[in-house]
Amino acid sequence: MSIVNELSAKVLSGKSLSYDEAKELLNIEGNEVYDLLFFAHKIKLKFIKKEAELCAIIPGKVGRCPENCKFCAQSVHYNTNVKLKKIDGKKIIQKAIEVEAQGVERYSIVNSGYSPTASEFEEVLDIYSEIKAKTSLKLCASLGVIDEERAKKLKKAGVTRYHHNVETSRKFYPKICTTHSYDKRLKTINAAKRAGMEICCGGIISLGEIEEDRLDMAFEIRELNPDSVPINILTPIPGTPLENQKIISPMEILKTIAIFRFIMPDVSIRIAGGRITGLKDLQPLLFLAGADAMITGDYLTTHGRKILDDVEMIKHLYQL
């Protein structure tokens, strides 16, 4: 029995993989990768009720972030020509109504910066309350560092899930960001959990890390018991330190998604930024590699695919 068959049987029986077991999957190559994708899909079908969920994000505030994350177009430390901009609350609410009509189920405001000011936070609460009143969307938030008190206020306003990534493995993290720590990120995640919110926590691949870093990140995230794990693929932004970073191949991306599914069989795995340039023509395969959700529409400073195009793609993928 191949290692893929052996480990998939263990996961399908309801048992968790150890780090050493999952590490063996890193050695899978060639045609065996297709076996890995097949069994990742099979694991998804057993543990996840929905085969595909669409979510959309909208920036509430763009640019002038004081942090120095090396991948980010919004950092003040790099010359990326991204200017400070705040999106009007009425536009955010109208966009929520529009994306719901197109098939989106989740919607999140994403603010640049370390943490919202008092006035920014109150404004966001008002916007979320109105979106809740006017739509049936499941509401998420990605506002940077928050404490338990703010998390409770967001929940009261209708937000059920908080997004805050670890970005990469603890070991590789200092090579990506030095203005705030990995533990600071965990503090925000745990504050949201204590407030009774669901957690969306993932990271970015193809930052220059090695495969073991991706594996470490997966296990570190698993320890947080998240509800959703977004996987981003780096989009090299001119002006950032990673502007010339080579992107891993589409098949390596799919392999990573599959391994995450083996490690976290019952958690939503959500493909986020970078899928268009990273996966190229293989985008539909993300759902056959273990993913069950993706962000559709535009991102923060980059364009995405049209929502209706993604809806059509999903229909074709599961149409029998």
pLDDT in tens, 240-273: 999 999 999 999 999 999 999 999 999 999 999 8
* Mean pLDDT calculated for residue range 145-156: 96
pLDDT score recorded for residue 1: 64
pLDDT in tens, 206-250: 999 999 999 999 999 999 999 999 999 999 999 999 999 999 999
Residues 6+ apart with CB under 8 A from 20: none
Dist CA 270 CA 54 (whole Å) = 9
Of all residues in the chain, the percent with pLDDT exceeding 70 is 97
Q: Look at residues 265, 305, 304, 272 and name the one whose alpha carbon lies nearest to residue 286.
A: 272
Dist CA 95 CA 57 (whole Å) = 10
pLDDT score recorded for residue 298: 67
Residue 207 and residue 237 in contact, taking contact as beta carbons nearer than 8 Å: no
- The residue extents of the domains of the chain are 17-318
Residues 6+ apart with CB under 8 A from 83: 62, 63
Dist CA 309 CA 198 (whole Å) = 29
Per the structure block, which two tokens stand in for 44?
A: 């998804």
DSSP annotation of 16: P
pLDDT in tens, 52-111: 899 999 988 887 899 999 999 888 899 888 777 787 899 999 999 999 999 999 999 999
Q: Which CATH number fits the domain 17-318, given the four candidates 3.90.1720.10, 3.20.20.70, 2.40.160.40, 3.30.70.1400? A: 3.20.20.70
Per the structure block, which two tokens stand in for 232?
A: 């981003």
The pTM of this model reads: 0.94
Is the pLDDT at 302 greater than 80? The verdict is no
Dist CA 146 CA 264 (whole Å) = 26
Is the pLDDT at 176 greater than 80? The verdict is yes
Per the structure block, which two tokens stand in for 141?
A: 């938030």
